[in-house]
Amino acid sequence: TDEWQEFQDTVGQENYDRYAANDEFLFCNYWIKAPRGKKIEVVFKNYSADNLGVGGCQWGGVEIKTLKDKRHTGYRFCSAEYIGTSLVSEHDIVPIIHFSRVYKVTTTIRYRIHPDGGKPTKPTSKRTPRPKTTTEPETTTTELTTQPSSKKTPPPTSKPNKCLDVLLCNVLKKLGFCKANDIKPEFKEKVCPGVCN
């Protein structure tokens, strides 16, 4: 509908052990669908983790695919810093992928068929029931739907995200990577930009 709808999803390990391998992601997939030819506005409303925003969301996050080609990586969020970011889809389907390979993280997303009139407007507090999903290792897909609107869509709005692999570079620095004479400075700068300077 043109009215705001909302869902929350929690994904991640029940008994997270920070010293375990943690190589496998747990996923929940959603498709928000509108009638053909309509566009969807999605707002990143809340994210419960405050320390996953490193290295391109390598530990967990939510990916919202509002761009033209759904095969490409969408906008990824893994930090509460971007709460309130509003995106407008290029098409009538918005895939959303919530993922974590660490502890449980809850994401709240608001969505609606985008109304006419330039900039996205402020969401209201109307809630919709939480879709049923699992946090099992296999992927779960839930489909959400909206109703028609006859209005135009402005371009997406969001803050750019500058991600660095801070965790790995800090470990390498502690292990002597920056002081190693047998490693060329150009290579150090390429692997960990700005860390060894």
Tell me, what CATH number does 141's domain have?
2.60.120.290
How far apart CA 104 and CA 59 sit, in angstroms, is 11
Query: Is residue 78 situated within a structural domain?
Result: yes
Domain co-membership, 54 together with 140: yes
Query: Is residue 157 situated within a structural domain?
Result: no
By percentage, how much of the chain surpasses pLDDT 90?
28
Domain co-membership, 121 together with 57: yes
pLDDT for residue 21 is more than 50: yes
Count of structural domains, the chain: 2
- Which structural domain range is residue 193 located in? 164-197
Domain co-membership, 37 together with 108: yes
Helix (H) or strand (E) holding 77: strand 75-77
Tokens 């801070």 label which residue? 166
Instruction: Give the residue-averaged pLDDT of 169-176.
Output: 79
Phi/psi of residue 187, nearest 5 degrees: -70, -40
Q: Which residues contact 113 (CB under 8 A, 6 or more apart)?
A: 1, 2, 34, 35, 38, 39, 40, 41, 146, 147, 148, 149, 151
Domain co-membership, 64 together with 110: yes
For 15-24, 34-43, 151-160, which range has the lowest pLDDT when averaged over its residues? 151-160
Domain co-membership, 138 together with 168: no
Domain co-membership, 39 together with 66: yes
Q: Which of 76, 72, 73, 4 is nearest to 40 (CA)?
A: 4
Domain co-membership, 91 together with 122: yes
Instruction: Please say whether the dihedral angle defined by the alpha carbons of residues 140, 87, 84 and 24, taken in this order, is positive or negative.
Output: positive
Strand order from edge to edge, sheet including 40-47: 5-11, 105-113, 40-47, 86-88
Residue of 171 and 175 predicted with greater confidence:
175
Domain co-membership, 10 together with 72: yes
Q: Which of 181, 183, 172, 88 is nearest to 195 (CA)?
A: 172
Domain co-membership, 131 together with 189: no
Query: Is residue 109 situated within a structural domain?
Result: yes
Residue of 157 and 92 predicted with greater confidence:
92
Domain co-membership, 176 together with 127: no
